[in-house]
Amino acid sequence: MTAGTTIRTVHDVAGLAAVADHFSDVWQTPRTAPPYPAEVLHSLVHAGGAVHAVYTGGRLAGAAVAVLGPEHSTYSLVAAAERGLGPALKLAQRDWARALGARTMRWTFDPLVGRNARFNLVKLGAVGTEYLVDFYGPMTDGVNDGDESDRLTVTWDLAAAGRSSEAEPHGPVLRSAPDGGPLVRRAGRHVWCRVPDDVVTLRATDPALALRWRHAVREVFQEAFLEGFRATGMSRDGWYTLTGTEATA
């Protein structure tokens, strides 16, 4: 982190209200209808969960919420931070979870958002373990409105390091993407699946095309996961790496 940046757990009513406002701003909802109201955050903290907040120059610049799970696990409900602060926020969650004896942390994210996939799968070293179709049902916030809320569950081994390299997409193109380019390649123990460059902008400018991408990627993931593949990487140019066992080759 840069000088003047700090991270702490939040317990007080005023601090939790500021976190609720932050989430409203990120998800473009009225502050009177935040995705996570302050009273809900307060209840989660009281129940043993944790709200971590990152501050820059005394200004709230990001927050994350996690709760305890079964069998030495934790679950991160939500996280959002300004560029460059996400890693420190997740590491603070990791330290909190490990201090409680947890070994893993899980959370979900939109699989079409490539930058989040790269952060989760490459920088942190988490693994995509479950594909959830329209997980939340219709959403009316300013980011997800008009789309179906598919989510990819990732599982993070809290002792794991990030990935320094991954196999480059190769092998025959098996399917075309909605933009006419390649969507799927496969070779040996790997399947590669491409996502759009910026699905958030695409949703706003061409929601029908964004939905075609959603359905195309959903089909690839569902088929691959049924075969035993898991999401293990994301390239800078938008290609997921799905890795199978020897039996799937």
CATH of the domain at 42: 3.40.630.30
* Average pLDDT across the chain, whole number: 94
Q: What is the mean pLDDT of residues 164-184?
A: 92
Q: Are residues 85 and 127 in the same domain?
A: no
If one counts the domains in the chain, the total is: 2
pLDDT more than 90, % of the chain? 86
State the average pLDDT over residues 185-205.
95
pTM for the whole structure: 0.93
Query: pLDDT tens for residues 46-96?
Result: 999 999 999 999 899 999 999 999 888 999 999 999 999 999 999 999 999
If you average pLDDT over residues 215-238, what whole number do you get? 97
The reply to whether 114 and 222 lie within a common domain is yes
Q: Do the beta carbons of residue 213 and residue 226 sit within 8 Å?
A: no
Question: Which residue in 126, 15, 36 sits closest to 79, CA to CA?
Answer: 36
Helix (H) or strand (E) holding 221: helix 207-226
**Pair (89, 127) in one structural domain:** no
95 and 123 share one domain: no
Q: What residue numbers bound the domain in which 227 lies?
A: 106-249
> CA 224 to CA 245: how far, in whole Å?
12
Are 117 and 191 in the same domain? yes
Q: Same domain for 157 and 233?
A: yes
Q: What is the pLDDT of residues 93-113, one digit of tens each?
A: 999 999 999 999 999 999 999
Instruction: Name the band, by pLDDT with cuts 50, 70 and 90, for residue 1.
Output: low
245 shares its domain with 178: yes
Q: Cβ contacts of residue 144 below 8 Å, gap of 6+? A: 27, 110, 203
Residues 222 and 181 in one domain: yes
Bridge partners, 242 (sequence order):
191, 231
- Specify whether 137 is located in the same domain as 238: yes
SS3 for 17?
A: helix
Domain boundary (60, 86, 102) is at 102
Same domain, 47 and 82: yes
Three-state SS for 62? strand
Domain final position from 80, 102, 124 = 102
- Chosen domain end from 102, 126, 149: 102
Residues 198 and 79 in one domain: no
On whether both 244 and 142 belong to a single domain, the answer is yes
Helix 38-46, helix 13-26: angle, nearest 10: 120
Q: What average pLDDT score do residues 102-129 get?
A: 97
